[in-house]
C-alpha cells in the first residue's frame, strides 16, 4: 500500500528565514508521481510541483526548491527567504500510474506560519 508521511505538523518561522518541509513516501511500484500542494486559508489546493519517479533532478522555482531522493524515499520542499504569504498548509502527495491504487494519497499536511 502507498503511504505519505509528513512528520512535521506545524512550523513557525520569522520572515526571511529558510524553511524545509519534509516528505517521506512508501510504495512498491517503480513508476509513481510525487506532488506538493499548498492550501491557503481560502481552502483551495494549489498545485506546486509534480515529479515522476524516474526524474531525480532537483528543481528550483524562484524561492521554492525540491529535493527528490529515491534512496531515502524523500521529496523535501524548501522555501528560501520565507514571506508572510507563504503561510499555509502544505501537502505532499503520491500517485501511482496505473491500477486500483492510481489515486492521490496525501500526507497529513504541514501548517507553516511565517511571522513578520
Partner 1 sequence: KAGVTQTPRYLIKTRGQQVTLSCSPISGHRSVSWYQQTPGQGLQFLFEYFSETQRNKGNFPGRFSGRQFSNSRSEMNVSTLELGDSALYLCASSPWAGQGARNEQFFGPGTRLTVL
Encode 21-32 in three state secondary structure: ECCEEECCCCCE
What is the per-residue binding string for partner 1 in 31-50, x denoting contact by CB under 8 A? Answer: --x-x-x----xxxxxx--x
57 binds partner 1 (CB under 8 A): no
Between 43 and 116, CB nearer to partner 1: 43
Sole binder of partner 1 in the list 16, 63, 103, 115 (CB under 8 A): 103
d(CA 109, CA 35): 12
Encode 87-111 in three state secondary structure: CEEEEEEEEECCCCCCCCEECCCEE
Between 66 and 107, CB nearer to partner 1: 107
Given the C-alpha cell 498548509, which residue does it identify?
89
30 binds partner 1 (CB under 8 A): no
Amino acid at each position: 500500500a502507498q503511504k505519505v508521511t509528513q512528520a512535521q505538523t506545524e512550523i513557525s518561522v520569522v520572515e526571511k528565514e529558510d524553511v524545509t518541509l519534509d516528505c517521506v513516501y512508501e510504495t512498491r511500484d517503480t513508476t509513481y508521481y510525487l506532488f506538493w500542494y499548498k492550501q491557503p486559508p481560502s481552502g483551495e489546493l494549489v498545485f506546486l510541483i509534480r515529479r515522476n519517479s524516474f526524474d531525480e533532478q532537483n528543481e528550483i522555482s524562484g524561492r521554492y526548491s525540491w529535493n527528490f531522493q529515491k534512496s531515502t524515499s524523500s521529496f523535501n520542499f524548501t522555501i528560501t527567504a520565507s514571506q508572510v504569504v507563504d503561510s499555509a498548509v502544505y501537502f505532499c502527495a503520491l500517485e501511482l500510474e496505473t491500477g486500483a491504487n492510481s489515486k492521490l494519497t496525501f500526507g497529513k499536511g504541514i501548517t507553516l506560519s511565517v511571522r513578520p
